[in-house]
Amino acid sequence: MTALSAFLAFAGFALLVILHELGHFWAAKAVGMRVEKFSLFFPPTLFSRTRGETEYAIGLIPAGGYVKISGMNPSEELPDEVRTRAYHAQPVWKRIVVIAAGPAMNLVLAFVLLFAFIFLIGGETGSSRVGVVEKGYPAAAVLQPGDKLVEVDGKRGNPVVLSEQIASHKCPGRATRGCEAAEPATVTVDRKGQERSFDLTPVYDPVAERTRLGFSYAPGPRETLPFGESVTWTVDRFWFVTRATLELPARLVDSEQRKEIQGVVGTYETTRQTILNDVAEVVGILAIISLSLAIVNLFPFLPLDGGHIFWAIVEKVRRKPVPFSVMERAGVVGFMLVILIFLVGLTNDIGRLSGEGFGVR
């Protein structure tokens, strides 16, 4: 089952990459540009076949993919019959269409998946029973999966009410990752027909922005929404994820938020673990990943898609081409940002793999 979940997670990521690159590919073909190569993953090349003027390949390194269009570098030497179809020989609007088509595919896919998830699959409703207990949190040594929460501090209610009561226990002073609340919470559970009470001190989770005991509620039955409400829910989640992704560069500055950035390894592992627990949830996860991929790619820095769009717009405004050397120098900023995000995410992923894990139910 572990091997199957790994394969399905890999297939999900591959699908996102393929659709992104297909967006560039189809748009380039549609506006008449010459596509030299379409590659899923990066070299060394494992498989290659040429059809017409385009080489189709599969690389060994599963870290993305690319579409090579003739003339992406203005100084590239090209035969006369190719030069007129080169990227930089095309009007600005054509270049923007080709570059924007990749992120556009991911945006459309994200919206469709989010809508399909809530309209056809349905979100899980909560229950008052303990589901997964997270390592490294106060609940780990006390609560057990299957325990039914009865009350917190003598207060009864649904899971939302009980969670709010736990979160009412604040850290003294400024809340920081892992700080303990000033007072413990008295948690009463029904365990196999017998009520038992425990005093547990909540700790602050900067992702949830509240104090927690470190457990999730077991899922209840799934509930779908009507068509109109599904559209509203999808638009709301679409904007929420977009805003969170746009805040990513700012999160690099904050030491607490920086610890929550997840890299490729963490995203893959989260998807794999989710497949093991509930494959239906993967639809929502892939939607979020697809949306985040699109937004990050639209950041206005080379080598990201947004960087190419930015410089194409600059050219349109100034009414003459921007020297490639200028774009190269400016691209260093974008390259450093991408590498920094990758390294921070990878470092955090390694820490979670060797420590508390990814907290996937």
Give the 3-state DSSP-derived string for the chain, with helices as H, strands as E and coil as C.
CHHHHHHHHHHHHHHHHHHHHHHHHHHHHHCCCCEEEEEEEEEEEEEEEEECCEEEEEEEEEEEEEEEECCCCCCCCCCHHHHCCCHHHCCHHHHHHHHHHHHHHHHHHHHHHHHHHHHHHCEEEEEEEEEEECCCCHHHHCCCCCCEEEEECCECCCHHHHHHHHHCCCCCCCCCCCCECCCCEEEEEEECCEEEEEEECCEEECCCCEEECCEEEEEEEEECCCHHHHHHHHHHHHHHHHHHHHCHHHHCCCHHHHCCCCCHHHHHHHHHHHHHHCCCHHHHHHHHHHHHHHHHHCCCCCCCHHHHHHHHHHHHHHCCCCCHHHHHHHHHHHHHHHHHHHHHHHHHHHHHHHCCCCCCC
257-283 per-position pLDDT tens digit = 555 555 454 454 555 555 545 667 778
Please give the pLDDT value at position 2: 62
Please give the pLDDT value at position 313: 93
Given its phi and psi angles, is residue 64 left (phi above 0), alpha (psi -120 to 50 degrees) or beta? left
Please give the pLDDT value at position 341: 67
By percentage, how much of the chain surpasses pLDDT 70? 81
Q: Does the pLDDT at position 349 exceed 80?
A: no
Give the active site residue among 21, 124, 134, 269.
21
Whole-prediction pTM: 0.72
10 vs 3: CA distance, rounded Å: 11
Least confident of 27-36, 76-85, 233-242, 344-353: 344-353
Please give the pLDDT value at position 323: 83
Please give the pLDDT value at position 28: 95
301-321 per-position pLDDT tens digit = 888 899 889 989 998 998 888
| pLDDT, greater one: 253 or 153 | 153
Quick check: 254 and 347 in contact, CB under 8 A? no
User: How many residues are recorded in the chain?
Assistant: 361
Q: Does the pLDDT at position 295 exceed 50?
A: yes
Read off the pLDDT of each residue in 89-96 and give the average, rounded to a whole number: 93
Reported confidence tier of residue 38, pLDDT bands at 50, 70, 90: very high
Please give the pLDDT value at position 361: 41
Q: Does the pLDDT at position 26 exceed 90?
A: yes
| pLDDT, greater one: 91 or 243 | 91
Given its phi and psi angles, is residue 354 left (phi above 0), alpha (psi -120 to 50 degrees) or beta? alpha
Listed residue (268, 237, 238) closest to 16, CA to CA: 268
Please give the pLDDT value at position 102: 94
Please give the pLDDT value at position 129: 87
Please give the pLDDT value at position 356: 46
Q: Does the pLDDT at position 360 exceed 60?
A: no
Q: Does the pLDDT at position 173 exceed 60?
A: yes
What are the chain's domains?
1-33+81-122+224-361 (no CATH), 35-69 (no CATH), 126-222 (2.30.42.10)
Q: Does the pLDDT at position 33 exceed 90?
A: yes
Reported confidence tier of residue 89, pLDDT bands at 50, 70, 90: confident
Active site residue 21: yes
Read off the pLDDT of each residue in 286-299 and give the average, rounded to a whole number: 86
Residue showing tokens 């106060």: 138
